[in-house]
Structure 1
Amino acid sequence: MPELLIELLTEEIPARMQARAAEDLCRLAAGAFAPLIQGPPRGFHGPRRIGLVAEMALSAETPAREERGPRIGAPEQALAGFLRKHEARREMLVERNGFLVLVKPGETVTAEALLHRALPELLWSFPWPKSMRWGLSHFTWVRPLQRILCLLDGRPVPVALARGEDAAHGIVAGAETEGHRVHAPGSFAVASAADHAARLRERFVILDAAERAAMIREGVARLAAAEGLEVVPDEGLLAEVAGLVEWPVPLLGSIDDAFMDLPAEVMRTSMRVNQRYFALRRPDGRPANRFALVANIAAADGGRALVAGNERVLRARLSDARFFWDQDRKHRLEEFLPKLDGVTFHAKLGTQGQRVERIARLAGYLAPMVGADPALAERAARLCKADLASGMVGEFPELQGIMGGHYARHQGEDPRVAEAIAQHYRPLGPNDDVPREPVAVAVALADKLDQLAGFFAVGEKPTGSGDPYALRRAGIGVVRIIRENGLRLPLAPVLTHALLGDVSARPVDLTHSLLASIAATLMLPLVKLEAALEAAGAAPRPLEAEFPFDAAEINREVRGFLLDRLRVQLRAEGLRHDVVAAATGEDDDITRILARAEALKSLVESDTGANLLSAWKRAQNILRAEEKKDGPHDGPVEEAALAAPEEQALNAALAKAEAESRACLAREDFAGAMAALAALRAPTDAFFEKILVNDPAFRKNRLRLLSRLRAAMDAVADLSKIEA
C-alpha cells in the first residue's frame, strides 16, 4: 500500500501543545482523506515539527449518493440556492416523494487531487489552543510555519498553502525537511517515512517523542547512579523536557551548599518551574546537592560551559527562594490570616477568610467521627490557608499547603497540626496518597466538602464539557479518603453541617430575614452586623448566611455526586455496574456500601445466588401484576392457611433466614446476611415448581408469602437493579 508522509516544520512549538497537536492532525487527516486512507494514521511530534505517516490508496471509486433538495413547488430562491451549493443544473434533479433530489454519480478520486483540495483546508482550520499571524497572510499557526513535507508513495505532492485571494503565504509542499539547527543546519530531501526518520537521526534529530523521553530518563539515571544518587520521579517534567529538545544530552550540575537548608520541595519546585531541571536525592531520601539538566546540543567541551551557566542561573533562582523563605518565617501564620479577608474565593461564596471559618467549624464537627482531637482539627483548619498570603506561595502557587506545614513546624505548632496543613489538599491526583493522620483527615475532608457544598449551592456544578472548579477531583478525594481510611461517615448529616452550620447553636430568633431587618433599621450593612454578632459569639455565620438556597436539595445533589464518583471507581475496578447500583441504594455510608457490594458480588457470581435472584424476580413480577389489581399484599402470613408442604417449608425457611439476616445486618455482616438468604434457594425453587399462587382459595396468603420473601431480600440490597 502506498505511504503518505506529512510533516509541518515550524519554529519552536510549546511542549504542552505538541502531543495534542499530533493527535488532532491524525484525527483531521483521517476524516479529510477518508475515501483513500487505510487504517489510523501514526503521528509524531517534537519541538519544531508535527506530522503523520499513513497508508493511502492512490485512487478509489466513490459510490453514488443522493442529496435531497427543496419540496416540489418551493420558491425559486430555495431551488437556486440548492443548485448553487451543489454546483448542479436543474436538469440533474429528479422528483421523488414530493422532493427534488440531486443524484450525484460516483467518481474516481485520486490521492493527489484529494491532497491538493483537503490539506490546505485542514491546515487553515487547525485547532491550536493559541495561534499567531506573521507577514501579510491571514494564515494562523502556533508559531511561524516554515516548511511542509508531503510525500505520497515516495513522490512529493506540491500542495500550495495559499488559498483564494490570500496568496501571500507562498509555502508549497515538497520532499525536503531540516535537521538540527546547530549540528546540521539546512534542508535535505527524503524518500519515505523510514528514510525520513533515519536521515533526521543522522542530523541529530530524534523523531519519536517516546524515544527522546527514554533517552532522557536513562541518561539522567545513569549519571545520577554514577554518583550514588537517584532521580526524583517526575513524569510530567520528563514529557515536557522531551518536547523541548531534539537531541537530548543529559548533564549534571551542582547546587551551592548554602541553599541545602531550604525545604526540599522549595528547591525542587524552583528547579522544575523555572528551569526544567531534574532534582536528585540520596538513597535515604535526603535531597542531594546535584541537579540534572538536558541540553539540546552535544557541546565540544562535554557541556562544562552549559553546566556552569545553568549553575549561575540556579543560584539566582534559589537566592530568590531563600529571600521568601526567610521573610515568611519572620511572621506567624496567624499574621497572614487578615489578608485572606481581602482575597475573594468566589463572588457568591465570599472571601478566603470566610471560607476558612466554615472549614474550621466543619473540621471540628468531623473530628470526633474520624478519631481526631476537635481543638487540633479546628486549629489546623483555621491556619490551613494562611500560606496563600505568604511570599513563597505567591511565587510558587504549587507549594500551597506544603509551605504552611513548614511554617507551622517552625513556629512550634503541634506536629499533627503541621501535618494537617501540609496534607489538606491531598489527594491531588490518582497516584497521590491520601491523608492518614486523623487531624489531617478531618481538615482535608472539611476543605473538600465545603468546596462541594458551596459550589453546588451557587449552581456552579460540573457539566459534561467542563469542571472549572475541579469538583470531580474534590469528590474523588472525599471518596478515596473515606475508603482508604475505612471511615464510618454518613454523608447526609455532614453535608447538612457544611451547608447550615451548627443549627442547634444558633439563636432561634436571629434568622437571616430578621438580621436583614435589624441591619436596615440600624442603617448598617448586613455583613457588618452579622460579623459583629459572630465576633461576640452570638451568631455563627454558616454558608446559608451568604445567599439563599434549598439545603435539602443541595444535600441530596452533593450526596448523589459523591456516590457517582464511588460508582465510577468501583466500575473501573471491575465490579458490575448493576451490582454497584444495587449495593448503593439509598445508603450514603461509603464503607457500608463497599461491604455490601463485595458480599453481593460473591452472591450473584454463584449458581445459588443466580437462582435465588431469578426466584426474586419471579416473585417481584407476580407481585407487581397482582398489586395492580388489589394490592399491596404486605400483610402477615396466616400460617394456618398454608396447606401445601412447599409453602410451609418456604415460610419456615423465611422465618429462619429473616432472623439470621437481621442479626447479620445489625452487625453489618453483609456476607453473612447473603449466606442466610442463599439458604432460601431450595424451598423457593420447590414453591414455584409445585404451587399455583393464584389459586383463588389461597391467593391472598400466598401473595403475602411472596411479599415477605421479597422484603427479606430487599432488606440486604436493592435487587431490582440486578440484571438477569
Structure 2
Amino acid sequence: MTEDFLLELRSEEIPARMQERARTDLAALFEARLKALNLAFESIESFATPRRLALIVRGVAETTTAATEERKGPRADAPDAAIQGFLRSTGLTRDQLVARDDGKGGQVLFAVIERPGIVAGSVLASAASHAIHNFAWPKSMRWGAASSSTESLRWVRPLQGIVALLGDKLVPIEVAGIQSGAQTVGHRFHHPGVITIGSANDYVEKLRACHVIVDGAERRAIIAIGAKMAAKKAGLTLIEDEGLLFENAGLTEWPVPLLGRFDSEFLSVPPEVIQLTARVNQKYFVCAGPDGKLANAFVCTANIDASDGGAKIVEGNQKVLAARLSDARFFYDTDLKTRLDDLRPKLEKIVFHEKLGTVADKVDRVAKLARWLVEEGIVTPAKAGASGDGAGQESPETPASAGVTELADMAERAARLAKADLVTGMVGEFPELQGLIGGYYAAAQGEDPQVAEAIRDHYKPVGQGDEVPTAPVTVAVSLADKLDTIAGFFMKDLKPTGSKDPFALRRAALAVLALIFQNQLRGSVGGWLAEARHGFGAQGIADERAELGTTTLREELVQQFARIYMRDVRDFFADRLKVQQKEAGVRHDLIDAVFALGGEDDLVRLLARVHALQAFVTTEDGKNLLAGYKRAANILKKEDWTGETGTKKELSYTPLPEEQSLIQALDSAEPIAAAAIEREDFEGAMAALATLRAPIDAFFEKVTVNDADPDKREARLDLLARMRNAVHKVADFSKIEG
C-alpha cells in the first residue's frame, strides 16, 4: 500500500524572481534524498507562491527497500586483534561471519549485514530536514534570537510554519524551533485564519477555497488570459511579456488582472520609455492600439478580488504610474535641451577600463575605426545588408564611385555621438535605454536619420536572436565598437579564461560574426583587429616591453608580442565561429580543417569553404578520398617525407598503370581545383578533387610505395605528397574526424 506525502514550508514573502528555481530545487533535493535512502515513490509535484514552498510526493512506499550489505574483512587466520576490530565495525559476533575461499588456499571473512526496511515516516522526516538545511537560496537570512549564531538556520525569509503529512498522519519534524503540524493559512486578506489540511489530496483544493492558487503555472495562465481579455474588451492588444508574467504570478496568490489608463499626453515620450517605466517600476503590462502603436493603457495584477471590481485598485495604480511617467517625461524633456555634442566632454570623466582609458578615448578610437572600415571598402552601401548572392554588387541608389566620403563622414559622426547618452538623465534612470534613447535624441536634434539609427542600434546584436543591423552606417559603428573592445582587452591580456568572461568578449565576438555573415563583409578579420589595436597608439605596446633592453631587443619583443596577440585573437575567433555555427549543424572539425591552412581569415570565404567541405565529406567520394588522404598522410609521416613540396617530377622509370592514372588525375584535377578556388567556387574545387578518389584507391591496391628501387620509392612518396598538397589547397584533411 502506498500513500502521498505533503510538505509545505511557509514563510514571509519569497521574492518573485526566486520562486520557480526554489520550487524545482526543492523537488530535486527531495528526490535525490529519497533515492539515496531507498524509499520508493511514484512522482513529485512542487509548488511555489509568495508565502510558501510545497511539494507532494505521490505513491510513497510503506518502508524503504530491505537490503543486504557485504563487507570484506581480514583473513580467517589473521591476528585476533584484527578480527575483533572488524567485528566492532560491523556490530556482529565471530560466529555470524562467513568464511570464503580466497582462491589461494586460504579463507577470507565476510560480514553479511541485513538492513531491514525503515518506515516511510522516518525517512521523509529525515529528507525534509536535509532539504531545509541544505537549500541553496541566492540570498538568505537568519532571524530571531538564534540569529546570533552562525549555526542557526538560514532561509530566504523567516520560516513560519511547516506542514508534513503522510496520508492523513502527521510526520514529526522540528527545524529551528518550528514543529510540523497540519495547519497553514490562506490568503492574507481573504482568509487570514488557520486552515487544517487533511492530507496531500485536499491540499490544493482546500487552499483554492481559501483564495490561494498554489500552482504557479495556473496563476500565470489566469494572468495571461485575464490581461488579454481586459485589453481586448477595451479594443486594445496586450503586449505580451513572459518575464513580467512570471513576476506577476510570483507576487500574487489570487491574481486578478485589471485594466487602467494614463494620460495620452505621456505618449509624446518614446514608447520604450513608457513600457520600461511601467514594467520595471510597477510590474505593469502595456497595450497597443488598433494602429499597432502604444496605447495609453496598462494592465496591473491585483492580489485580491475586490468588492468594487477593482475600481479603487485601478485608481491608485493610475496615480502611481502617472507620477512615474511624469518623472520620465521630465528626464526626456530636460535631456532634449542639451545637444548630444555638448554632452561628449562629460565622457572624459567616465572610465571605460582602468587599462584602456575613458569612454571618451574609446569613442575617439571607434570613430576613426568606423571611418576606416568605410574608406577601405569593407562596409559599403553595396555590401551592408547584402545577401550571399548579391555581395559585391553596386546599389542602384548609391553608385560605388559616389557616397564613400559621405558614408564615412556619417559613420564617424554617429560613432562620436553614440555614447553621449550615457550621461543623460534618462539613461541614469534606465540604463537599459542606452543607445536607444540616444537615437531618439539625435533624431529630435536634427541629425541625419542614418546617424540617428546608428546611434540607436550600434550595440546590436546584443545576444542570440537579436536583430543584426544591415544599414551601412550602423554596421560600421557597431562593428568598430566591438572590434575596439576585443582588440583592447586582448592587448592588455584580459581575454576570457575558462567560464569567466567579465567583459563579455565572447558575446562581442559572436556579434562581430553575425555582422560579417549577415552583411557579407569581406576582408581580413585579422587586419581589422590589427587596425583596431593600432588605434590604442602607445598603449598598444606593454610598458615593460617598451622599456627593456636595446632598441633591437625592444623591436623584437614588440614583434613577438604582436604575433602572440594575433595568434590568440584568431584562435579566439575560430572558437567563437564553432560555437556560432554549431546550431547551424556545421562540424567544428571542418572549421579547424580550413583554419589550419593559415592565412584565411576572410570569414565569408572561409565559411563557404567549410560548407562545401561538409557537403563533400558526407558523400561516398568524399569519405573514400578522406580515407585515401589519411593513408597517404600516415605513410608520409612515418617516412618523415616532405619531398620537394610534392611537385610534379620527371620519372626515371616506366610507372605502373595505376601510378600513371593517379599522375594523370592530379594533372587534370590540380589546375581545375586551383581555378575554382580562385573564383571562390569551392563546390567546383571539391568536384575536381573527387576525381582523385578512384585513382588513389587503385594506387594503394596495386602499387608498392616503399619499393626496393630508391628512385621508385622517392617518386611514389613525392606523388603522395603531391596528392596531399592538392587536397590541402582546399582544407587540411588531417583535422577532419572519421
Bin of the TM-score, shorter chain as denominator length: 0.7 to 0.9
The Cα of 1:391 is off from its aligned counterpart by 0.5
Cα deviation code 1:577-628 (max 9, x no counterpart): 4334334434333222321222122112212211221111221222222226
Q: How many Å separate the matches in 2 of 1:496 and 1:83?
A: 74
Provide the rounded CA distance (Å) in 2 between the counterparts of 1:117 and 1:198.
27
Indicate the residue corresponding to 1:131 in structure 2. Answer: 140
Query: Residues 484 and 150 (structure 1 numbering): CA distance in 2 closer, same or farther, change over 3 Å?
Result: farther
| Partner of residue 558 from structure 1, selected from 560, 569, 587 | 569
Match of 1:661 among 673, 678, 688: 673
For the 8 Å contact 1:377–1:439, the answer to whether it is kept is yes
1:370-423 alpha-carbon deviations (Å, 9 max, x no partner)? 216222212111111111100010011111111111111111111111111111
Match of 1:484 among 490, 493, 518: 518
How many Å separate the matches in 2 of 1:551 and 1:453?
12
Which has the higher mean CA deviation after the structures are superposed, 185-194 or 422-431?
185-194
Between the aligned partners of 1:583 and 1:561, the Cα distance in structure 2 is 15
Partners in 1 of 2:257 and 2:452 — Cα distance? 37
The residue type equivalent to 1:44 in the other structure is F
Match of 1:684 among 696, 704, 709: 696
1:676-711: per-residue Cα shift (whole Å, max 9, x none)?
111222222222222222222322111111111111
Alignment pair present for 1:177 and 2:203: no
What is the one-letter code of the residue matched to 1:588? Answer: D
Retained in 2: the 8 A contact 1:453–1:555? no
One of 222, 245, 250 as aligned partner of 2:229: 222
Partner of 1:370, secondary structure, is coil
Task: After superposition, give the CA deviation of every residue in 1:445-496 in whole Å (9 maximum; x if it has no partner).
Answer: 2222222223333343334443333233222222222222222242211111
Farther-moved stretch of structure 1 (113-122 vs 141-150): 113-122
Give the aligned residue type for 2:23: A
1:187 aligns with 2:200: no
Aligned residues: percent identity? 48
Q: Secondary structure of the equivalent of 1:60?
A: coil
Provide the secondary structure at the position in 1 that maps to 2:153: coil
Task: State the TM-score, normalized to the length of structure 2.
Answer: 0.83
Q: Would you say the 8 A contact 2:643–2:718 is kept in 1? A: no
Q: CA deviation at 1:256?
A: 0.0
After superposition, residues 326-337 of structure 1 pair within 5 angstroms as 326-337=333-344
1:547-580 deviations in whole A, cap 9, x for unaligned?
Answer: 9993432333233223212212222233334334
Mapped to 2, the partners of 1:90 and 1:462 lie a distance apart of 61
Q: Structure 1 length normalisation: TM-score?
A: 0.85
Residue matched to 2:78: none
* Distance across 1 between alignment mates of 2:303 and 2:521: 51
Residues of 1 paired with 2:144 and 2:668: CA distance?
87
Distance change >3 Å, CA 67–CA 574, structure 1 → 2: farther
| Correspondent of 2:66 among 42, 61, 67 | 61
Given candidates 142, 163, 176, the residue that maps to 1:149 is 163
**Aligned-residue offset at 1:83:** 13
3-state SS of the aligned residue for 2:268?
A: coil
How far apart are the structure 1 equivalents of 2:520 and 2:635? Answer: 40
Q: Distance in 2 between matches of 1:581 and 1:201?
A: 59
* Kept after mapping to 2: 8 A contact 1:160/1:172: yes
Instruction: Give the letter for the 1:107 counterpart.
Output: R
Give the aligned residue type for 2:32: G
Name the CA shift for 1:380/1:264 in 2 (closer, same or farther; >3 Å).
same
Report the counterpart of residue 384 of structure 2 in structure 1: none
Q: Structure 1: 5+ residue runs without aligned partners?
A: 70-79, 162-168, 518-546
What corresponds to 2:31 in structure 1?
Answer: 30
**Count of residue pairs brought into register by the alignment:** 672
Q: CA separation in 2, counterparts of 1:659 and 1:415? A: 50
Q: What stretches of structure 2 of length at least 5 have no aligned partner?
A: 75-84, 103-108, 147-151, 382-406, 549-557
The superposition leaves residues 238-269 of structure 1 with CA deviations (integer Å, 9 ceiling, x where unpaired) of 22222112222111111202211111111111
Determine which of 249, 261, 264 is the counterpart of 2:268.
261
Matched, 1:645 2:657: yes
User: How many Å separate the matches in 2 of 1:411 and 1:286?
Assistant: 23
Residue 8 of structure 1 is matched in structure 2 by 9
Indicate the larger mover: 448-457 or 239-248.
448-457
- The CA distance in 1 between the partners of 2:542 and 2:41, in whole Å, is 70
Secondary structure class of the residue paired with 2:349: coil
Partner of 1:375: 409
Shift of 1:45: 2.2
Give the structure 2 partner of residue 363 of structure 1.
370
**Larger displacement relative to structure 2 (682-691 or 410-419):** 682-691
Q: Which residue of 1 aligns with 2:309?
A: 302
Cα displacement (A) at 1:303: 1.2
Question: Does the CA-based 8 Å contact 1:441-1:481 persist in structure 2?
Answer: yes
Aligned match of 2:394: none
- Aligned-partner Cα distance in 1 for 2:409–2:614: 42
Amino acid at match of 2:459: Y
How far apart, in 2, do the equivalents of 1:706 and 1:650 lie? 9
Question: What letter matches 2:701 in structure 1?
Answer: E
- The one-letter code sitting in structure 2 at the alignment partner of 1:677 is L
2:52 paired with 1:49: yes
Calculate the aligned-residue CA RMSD, in Å: 3.6
| 1:240-389 correspondence runs (5 A) | 240-367=247-374, 368-371=377-380, 373-389=407-423
Query: Could you tell me how far apart the structure 2 residues matched to 1:633 and 1:598 are?
Result: 28
Query: How far 1:87 sits from its partner (Å)?
Result: 11
For residues 93 and 362 of structure 1, what CA distance do their matches in structure 2 show? 82
